[in-house]
Amino acid sequence: MQTDTIKLLRECNAGIKMGESAIKKVLPHAKSNELRHTLEVCKNTHASLGDETHAMLLEHGADTKEPHAIARVMSDMKICAKMMAKESDSQIADVMTDGCDMGIKSLSRYLNKYKHANPEAKSIAKRLIASEEYLENKIRDYL
């Protein structure tokens, strides 16, 4: 149980870092106040879940996990390319919905893989998925 808990929390932590990084990169380019607010809300939710995840990992005597280097570089390149091509709320929505989709799929996969994780760890993963779904739904109007 503890092994699954730690593994799930580490994957959540890495996903949170990826999400926060992406939001921070696109946020300065947002034109709409509503889009900017939505991104801020999601960024704050990720930060809060990140704090919870970090605290739980410490309780279990485990360290955090950084996102895979290749995934981070690919994400950064995609964001930069999209923003260079056309700096618009539509581009932000496009790149962020792709990121949300990847996050939702990955986290769902980890929830299934680490089914013996404790309920608190599963709750964090489910709330993170809900945050990604919220963002994706809120920004569809900008596509």
Task: Report the distance separating Cα 38 and Cα 81, nearest Å.
Answer: 22
Other residues' Cβ atoms within 10 Å of the Cβ of residue 124: 22
Q: Is the pTM of this model over 0.95?
A: no
Residue-level pLDDT at 96: 95
pLDDT band at 125 (very low <50, low <70, confident <90, very high): very high
Specify the 3-state DSSP secondary structure of 106. Answer: helix
pLDDT digits (tens, 9 = 90+) for 11-35: 999 999 999 999 999 999 999 999 9
pLDDT at residue 1 is higher than 70: no
Encode pLDDT of 43-74 as tens digits.
999 999 999 999 999 999 998 877 777 777 77
Dist. CA 79–CA 101, nearest whole Å: 15
Question: How far apart, in Å, do the first and last CA atoms of the chain sit?
Answer: 42
Look at residue 138 in the predicted model and tell me its pLDDT.
95
User: 73-113, pLDDT tens digit by residue?
Assistant: 778 778 877 777 778 999 999 999 999 999 999 999 999 99
The answer to whether residues 116 and 4 touch, using CB atoms and an 8 Å cutoff, is yes
The alpha carbon of residue 137 and the mean position of all alpha carbons in its chain are separated, in whole angstroms, by 15
Give how far Cα 101 sits from Cα of 132, 136, 138, Å.
8, 8, 14
What is the pLDDT at residue 2?
84
